A = this chain, B = another copy of it.
C-alpha cells in the first residue's frame, strides 16, 4: 500500500543492485538489436550470431532504462500506480527489455519465457519479420504511446492523468521531441490538471544532447535556461546531470523521491484545502550522454555522447572483425554472467527490484485499455427535434447534441469518465448546453478587474477542455481514451487538419491494438467537425477545407468510420452510436448553423442503421405503377448537399412532371465502397437497389468532389456517378454563393441531371433557361444586396402533389 508520506533517498543507499538492473536492461537492448543466436554470450560471439540487418535505436535506450529502473525503485518504496510513457518510442528494445525483466512480457507472451529459450526468442523477434516492431507500440505491455511520430508523449500522459486521481504518469521526453510544436504546447498541462481530481504527470526531459544527427536546442542551453523554461510554464523542475553512474543514480533517486513527495503533498493539500491556482508540479531534467555505456569510439570517431549513437553504433559487425570484437566487449562489459543464472533467468536479487503484480509498469491497469466502465447514453427521445412538416423546420443541428452531452456529464459526475475537448468553440459550435452541467477547466484564477468572469463558465473543476490547440485537444483526448475513458473532440472542419497526422497515427495504433487479445478495446476517437466548409461563408477560404475526410478515407476500414448526418435527429443517433463504440476513429461531419430538419427520431434510427436510404417522400417513383424506374437518381451526403439535392429534386418535379426522380441520402460514407474495401460497404444488390443497376446518378457530396470516386471504385460503371462537391473555391460571401462557386447548387444539380437524363422531356429546355437565369439573378442580387435571394434564403421543402 502507498505510504502517503514523502520518502527520500537515504544518503547511504547503495545503488549497486539498481545499477546492475540497469546493466541487464542495457544488455538485453543491445542483444535485441544485434543477436539472433547466443543471447547470453555463453559462447564467443561469431558473425553467424548477428542478424543480417541491424535495425533499432541504441542512443536513447540507456536513458529510458535508467529512468525505468528508478521508477521501479520508487514504486517499490511507495506502491504508487505509475504509467510509463516513452516519448522516444524508437527506444522500443529498451522498454521491451524492461517489461521482460519485470516479468510482464512473459506473462502476456508466454512463448517468450524467462529462460534461455525465451531469451533467444526475445532477441530474434526484435525488428524481424513475424516478430515485433522496432518502436514501443500496442504490442508493448503497459504502453499507451507509440512514439514513432514524435511530439505527443506529454499530451498522451496528461490525458491519461485526467480524472485518474491515483495515477502518476511518468513521461520521458527526448530533447529532440521537445523541439516539436505539439510537445511545446503540452508544457501548459499545469493549467489544466486539477490536483484534487486528476492524477499527476511527471515529465522527465531527457537532454542527451542530440537527435538523429544534430545537436538539440535545449541540449545546448544551460541548466538554468532549461529550468527557467519549465518554471515559466508552471513546473517545478530539478536537474540531474552527469556521466558517472554512481552520482547520477544518487541524484536521480532523490529527484524521484522528492518529486513523488511533492506530488502527494500537492494532491493532499488540494484534496483537503481546495484548489487555488495551478499546482507547481515537479519535473525532472535529466542530462546524460546519448548512447551512455555504449562504445566510446568507433572507427576513430566519438560515438558515446554523440549523435552517432542514435541508431546502431557498430554497423558492420558481421563483416568487420574489429566491430565484432568491439560489440562483444561492449556486451560483456555489462557482465551478463552475473545478471542471468544458468537457466537464463534474471538473478533473484535483481528480480527483487521490480515491483510486483499490477504495480509493474508493464502491467499497469491504465495501460491496458478499457476499464469496463460503460458510458450510459440517455434516451434520445428527450432531445429529438420535431421534423414535421418535413424539411420546413429549421434548427441548429448540433444544439440537441449539446443537450445530450450535458446529460452525459451529469450522469458521470460522480464517476467522471467523459470529456469534451474543443479549441474554444464549444459555444460557437452550439454545444453550449454542456455549461449547464460543468465548466471549462482552467486552473489560473481570473485576474483582478476581469470583466467577464461571471459568464465565463471557467473553473478548475470544469470538465470541458478548451484550449486553442487542436493538437492538445486531440492528444489529451487520445490519452484519456487509451486509458479507458470516453470523449469527443469538436473542431472547425478545416482546422481538424491541424491534427490530421495524429488521426492517422491513432488509427494505426488501433488497427494493430485490436489484433492483440490481451488489450481491452478502448472507446473510439470521436471527431466532430462542425463549422463546415459550406457554412464558412463568413470566415472565408482558409476556413473551408473538408480535407480530413480524404485523410480518413485512405486509412484502414477496420478502424475508420465517416458519418454525415443530414439533420439533428440523425446526429443524435450517430452520437449515441459513436459514444458507445470501441476501437474506431469516427469522423462526424455536420454544420452548426440553422438547417432544415427532415427525419423523426424513429426514421433517423432506421436511416442510420441502413447507412443510406431512398427518401421516397422526396422523389416521385411509384414502384408499382408507371413510374417504376427513375430517370435519374439524386444522391446526397451531408447537410448542405442534402438541402441542395432536395431543392433540385423539387425543381425537377415541379418543372418536368413526367420525370421520375429518386433521392438517396447517404449518411454513412462507408456504405459506398464494396464490402472488401470497407466492412460497411453495401452488398451489390443493396447498392443496386439504391442507385439502380446502371442509371445515372447525380451526387452532391460534402467533401472534395473527386475524392468520392475512390469510394465508388469497384462498383459497376462508376462513371455514371456525376459528383459535385467542394472544389476548392471560396471566399467570404453568402451561404448560397458557396454552393454556386463550387457548382453544387440546386441549379447546377438540375442542369447536370438534365445533361444526363436519357429521355427527351418537354419543358427541359425551359428548365435549363430557368436555372441559368436564376444563377445570373443570384450573382447580381448578392452583389447589390449582400445577402441571398429571398427565394433561396426562405426556401423550404414542400411536397409535390403528384
Q: Which A residues lie at the B interface, using CB under 8 A?
A: 36, 51-53, 55, 89-90, 127-135, 137, 146, 148-151, 176-177, 179-185, 187-188, 191, 209-217, 219-221, 225, 228-229, 231-234, 289, 301-302, 304-308, 424-428, 440, 442, 444-447, 450-452, 455-456, 458, 466-472, 494-495, 497-498, 500-501, 504-505, 508, 511-512, 538-543, 545, 547, 550-551, 553-556, 673, 677, 704, 706-713, 717-719, 728, 731-734, 737, 782-783, 785-787
Contacts and interface: CB of A to CB of B under 8 A. Distances in A.
Contact of A52 (B512, B783, B785): B785
Contact of A501 (B130, B458, B500, B719): B500
A185 B180 contact: yes
30 contacts: A52-B785, A52-B787, A53-B786, A89-B542, A127-B538, A127-B732, A128-B783, A129-B783, A135-B732, A137-B542, A149-B498, A151-B498, A179-B188, A181-B182, A181-B184, A181-B469, A181-B472, A184-B187, A213-B426, A215-B446, A215-B450, A215-B452, A217-B444, A308-B452, A500-B547, A508-B545, A547-B554, A550-B553, A550-B707, A554-B707
Nearest to A734: B129
B424 A176 contact: yes
10 closest A-B pairs (Cβ-Cβ)? A148-B542, A181-B181, A306-B452, A181-B185, A220-B444, A497-B501, A184-B184, A229-B232, A179-B468, A228-B232
A543 B424 CA distance: 32
B555 A215 contact: no
Nearest to A211: B424
Contact of A452 (B307, B497, B728): B307
Nearest to A464: B214
Given A133-B540, A731-B133, A468 B177 contact: yes
B135 A214 contact: no
Nearest to A729: B556
A121 to B, nearest CB: 13
Given A127-B538, A444-B220, A148 B543 contact: yes
Given A129-B737, A133-B731, A148-B542, A185 B179 contact: yes
Contacts of A733: 128-129
A99 B444 CA distance: 38
Nearest to A177: B468
B732 A133 contact: yes
B135 A542 contact: yes
A5 to B, nearest CB: 31
Contact of A718 (B225, B719, B737): B719
A380 to B, nearest CB: 27
A439 to B, nearest CB: 10
Contacts of A176: 424, 468
Contact of A212 (B133, B177, B428, B704): B428
Contacts of A731: 133, 512
A445 B732 CA distance: 48
B306 A217 contact: no
A780 B536 CA distance: 55
A180 B469 contact: yes
A494 to B, nearest CB: 7
A306 B447 CA distance: 12
Given A213-B427, A728-B511, A181 B538 contact: no
Given A450-B209, A732-B134, A468 B504 contact: no
A191 to B, nearest CB: 5
Contact of A148 (B36, B133, B177, B539): B539
A216 B191 CA distance: 10
Nearest to A470: B180
A215 B442 contact: yes
Given A128-B783, A135-B540, A305-B452, 19 more contacts: A52-B785, A52-B786, A53-B787, A89-B542, A130-B783, A135-B539, A137-B541, A137-B542, A149-B498, A179-B469, A181-B183, A181-B471, A213-B427, A214-B456, A225-B232, A229-B229, A302-B451, A508-B542, A709-B718
Nearest to A721: B713
Contact of A232 (B89, B231, B468): B231
Contacts of A228: 228, 231-232
- The interface centre, meaning the residue of A185, A213, A289, A505 with most chain B CB atoms within 10 A of its CB, is A213
A37 to B, nearest CB: 11
Contacts of A556: 728
A728 B388 CA distance: 44
Contacts of A183: 181
Contacts of A214: 424, 440, 442, 456, 458, 466
A24 to B, nearest CB: 24
A331 B379 CA distance: 50
Contact of A554 (B301, B302, B467, B704): B704
A52 B717 CA distance: 47
A220 B53 CA distance: 54
Contacts of A289: 451
A792 to B, nearest CB: 13
Contact of A728 (B90, B213, B221, B555): B555
A38 to B, nearest CB: 15
A466 B210 CA distance: 12
A362 to B, nearest CB: 20
Contacts of A53: 538, 734, 786-787
A301 B453 CA distance: 11
A451 B305 contact: yes
A98 to B, nearest CB: 19
B540 A455 contact: no
A555 B469 CA distance: 24
Nearest to A447: B220
A250 B201 CA distance: 44
A167 B713 CA distance: 53
Contacts of A133: 540-541, 731-732
B704 A713 contact: no
Nearest to A793: B52
Contacts of A547: 500-501, 504, 551, 554
Contacts of A191: 217
A303 to B, nearest CB: 8
Contacts of A442: 214-215, 217, 220
A772 to B, nearest CB: 19
A187 B218 CA distance: 13
Contacts of A150: 468
- The interface centre, meaning the residue of A442, A458, A545 with most chain B CB atoms within 10 A of its CB, is A545
Given A146-B542, A215-B446, A710-B706, A554 B151 contact: no
Contacts of A545: 501, 504, 508
A707 B713 CA distance: 10
A215 B185 contact: no
Nearest to A440: B214
A529 B790 CA distance: 50
Contacts of A129: 733-734, 737, 782-783, 786
Contacts of A550: 550-551, 553-554, 707
B728 A304 contact: no
- The interface centre, meaning the residue of A52, A149, A458, A512 with most chain B CB atoms within 10 A of its CB, is A149
- The interface centre, meaning the residue of A234, A673, A708, A710 with most chain B CB atoms within 10 A of its CB, is A710
